[in-house]
Amino acid sequence: MLKARTRTRSAAVRSIKVVTFGSAALVEGALGSAAALAQAPAFYPTAPGSHDIAAGDFNRDGFPDLAVGSSTGAITILTNDGHGGFADARTLNTGGGDYMAIGDLDGDRDADIVSALGTAVRVMLNDGTGQFGGSLEYSASAMIHGVALGDVNHDGVPDLVLSEFAGNIWKYEIMLNDGHGAFLSVATGEYDTLDPQPADWSAVTGDFDGDGDVDAAMMQQAYGTGGNYHAVHVHLLINGGDGRQWTRDTQVFDQGDFADPPQHLVAGDFDGDGDLDLMYNDGGGYGGYNVMLRHLANDGHGEFSTSFLWSPTLDNYTRGVALSDYDGDGGIDSVAVVNIGSAQRQCAVYLLRRPGQYVLFRDTEHGRADALILPELNGDGLRDVVTVVSYPAAGVLVSLNAYVPPRPVLVQSPLQRGQATTFTVSGAQPGERVHLLYSLAGTDMSVGLSVLGGVSIDLTRPFLAFAAATADGSGEAQVVRIIPPQAPPGAILATQAVIRRGPGGADSVKTNFITAPIQP
């Protein structure tokens, strides 16, 4: 049975802490100038109507490739050359998709693609070399406005969560994976409001209430207490544990008149307190395009409140936001892409990092951005920026991270089954214990780890400890490990080292992360 609760967040019913970043001017600070933060973007053409983007290592070389979905039904595959360049492109005419997600859908450790267009869901399985066969197609119960993957029933394979809209009805749908990339719809629900509006890119997954299950969150625009479109309804779907029983908790955030629905709901531990927060960009306000990013802080039990707002200058339109540790300091940053001017034929990308904001790049040739992601493209262990643009031609802008953070550095020798691999960390303090971690699930933002004073490492859970070593007098620590002979060949191993420093780990640091394939 579906249970639902609706709660309103407003200044009248709950104290809200709001911190604003102010106008979007370049701020100089500890990170230095914009030129030191990002390289000028390179442009790579994609299929007309390009709309969404996702990253995955399709050919198992340790470097993420790109899949760009199009409203025309084509998907452009851009293959990474190992240095963050994408000269090799091909088009899959699969009938998808406006919304994209990538994950290992059939348990063979390859990056597969799921896309959505209209009411159709298409699954494209990877053969391990970056080639995709015919797509599997499923029909959703309504028009899809967001897709997300997450293992909602604890069987080790990702399931599918859909945000949908039909008429005046917001809907959700849960599709369970059979372990081979085939999906079955097992749960749906709807919430009828007065003239709601759908929000694009409006589904995310994560453990929002801290019970160990993968939950989901979605959002829509609706009338608030002040009339007109004053409110964003955030629908938190709490998992009963088996992926079939869900409790819906609707939380309403009144925020003033705006003309267009909010977009790009994302999750991450922005405040470093060990739980997943939410962030989205508001729709364009009446009388101008002064659009804000809104961060909703989680209390650890799935209760959210507005933590801060950010707004660029007037006549700008925020078209996407992503959360990641861009500068490598262990805290989660926001990166936002903004379309400039009423014609929206230019775009700029901002790094929001307390206490400042920085312009990563501004592009005057390929404006009208639609979305952005933050993969690590060139093996330096720092997140780069990829932005989808559609004017004057469809394509992606790729800007490599140029910042050199003051932190210890991890290097490693090749990974080969049955052979010893040497992991070396330099830049530690003599006598410090350096802990080497690894994951076979890839890289992602973790929640802040209390044992490390809230530092968020970059390995996807479950991550495990390889070993620890003590830094010598030069600040170098070394770990040698034999890669098990039974390790799966071609599997991507992600590694990172952390050093616990200060009382309670308050000064802990992490190294860069490395992803590399295990050789036979």
pLDDT in tens, 413-446: 999 999 999 999 999 999 999 999 999 888 988 8
164 by DSSP, 3-state: which? Answer: strand
Gap between the Cα atoms of 167 and 140, Å rounded: 15
Peptide bond into 392 cis (omega under 30): yes
Nearest in space to 118 (alpha carbons), one of 102, 139, 136, 103: 139
Burial of 127 per CB tally in 10 Å (0-12, 13-18, 19+): exposed
Beta strands in 299-419 (DSSP E): 304-310, 316-324, 333-340, 346-353, 356-363, 369-373, 385-389, 395-399, 409-412
The per-residue pLDDT for 10 is: 37
Beta strands in 120-254 (DSSP E): 120-124, 136-139, 143-150, 159-166, 169-177, 183-192, 197-206, 215-222, 231-239, 246-254
Is the Cβ–Cβ distance between 56 and 62 less than 8 Å?
no
Gap between the Cα atoms of 483 and 490, Å rounded: 13
The per-residue pLDDT for 59 is: 92
The per-residue pLDDT for 233 is: 86
End-to-end CA distance of the chain: 49
Gap between the Cα atoms of 282 and 99, Å rounded: 19
36 by DSSP, 3-state: which? Answer: helix
Nearest in space to 232 (alpha carbons), one of 271, 268, 281: 281
- Other CB atoms within 10 Å distance of the CB of residue 19: 12
Calculate the CA dihedral of residues 225, 223, 162, 303 and round it to 10 degrees.
Answer: -10
The per-residue pLDDT for 342 is: 63
Instruction: List Cα–Cα distances, 160 to 140, 181, 429, in angstroms.
Output: 11, 10, 45
Is the pTM here over 0.85, yes or no?
Answer: yes
Task: Characterize the bridge pairing of strands 316-324 and 169-177.
Answer: unpaired
Gap between the Cα atoms of 175 and 243, Å rounded: 9
State how far Cα 242 lies from the chain centre. Answer: 25
The per-residue pLDDT for 213 is: 94
The per-residue pLDDT for 13 is: 28
The C-alpha R_g of the chain, in whole angstroms, comes to 22
Burial of 520 per CB tally in 10 Å (0-12, 13-18, 19+): exposed
Q: Which residues contact 401 (CB under 8 A, 6 or more apart)?
A: 37, 38, 39, 326, 380, 382, 383, 384, 385
The per-residue pLDDT for 193 is: 64
The per-residue pLDDT for 191 is: 73
Gap between the Cα atoms of 194 and 208, Å rounded: 27
The HSE-up count of residue 425 (CA atoms within 13 Å, CB side) is: 32
Amino acid at 399: S
21 by DSSP, 3-state: which? Answer: coil
Gap between the Cα atoms of 430 and 292, Å rounded: 46
Gap between the Cα atoms of 295 and 297, Å rounded: 6
Measured on CA atoms in the order 81, 86, 88, 92, is the torsion positive or negative?
Answer: positive
State how far Cα 120 lies from the chain centre. Answer: 23
Given a cut of 70, the residues of the chain with pLDDT beneath it are 1-35, 192-195, 223-230, 255-260, 283-291, 311-316, 342-344, 354-355
The per-residue pLDDT for 192 is: 62
Instruction: List Cα–Cα distances, 65 to 79, 102, 216, 303, 308, in angstroms.
Output: 5, 11, 26, 36, 33
